[in-house]
Chain A
Amino acid sequence: AQTVTQSQPEMSVQEAETVTLSCTYDTSENNYYLFWYKQPPSRQMILVIRQEAYKQQNATENRFSVNFQKAAKSFSLKISDSQLGDTAMYFCAFMGNQAGTALIFGKGTTLSVSS
């Protein structure tokens, strides 16, 4: 069974700084998908970034980028130029390579951005 581990329950950062959230996972599959989701106080799940395991290039979305290390099964999220609106809970998630499989989430990291 796949597992996702986020070892940082809480993190704090000041505006304009850079912060990195850690995520490791375990799977025996070779092809799969990894995601970072943001959940603000509204509780709406917002997709931040997605990585396909067969792509070596790290995904980027504006201020958000990942460091995907397939051999180490590591998938960290870097947030550059942090903004107050980045304050939220961040979940790392794994999805297998079959249609109809659910996202498996880590326990989440609560990120607080202060001015």
Chain B
Amino acid sequence: SQQGEEDPQALSIQEGENATMNCSYKTSINNLQWYRQNSGRGLVHLILIRSNEREKHSGRLRVTLDTSKKSSSLLITASRAADTASYFCATDRTNDYKLSFGAGTTVTVRA
């Protein structure tokens, strides 16, 4: 069963705008990760946030984690056409490195 659920399922924004997507999960986690998948390609790891962290940055990416609400958000600032992709959150529940993935958010950045 899926541990994480992303919201919204799809998002369309103008180039230069910010994109925000959310992930909710059901059980306690050790860490939460975000991945990007371009059409027809494999998933690429973006960022990992541990359960004792609340916010993390990587370039134009900002991830927050609220363990009390069992939720995370991914913010992409100043979006570009190359950011068009599907984004997945994945949770590591038991520190055994088996990730559970959500169904993803499809982001389209319009030029």
Q: Is chain B found bound to chain A in the same assembly?
A: no
Which chain B residues have a beta carbon within 8 Å of chain A's beta carbons?
A: none
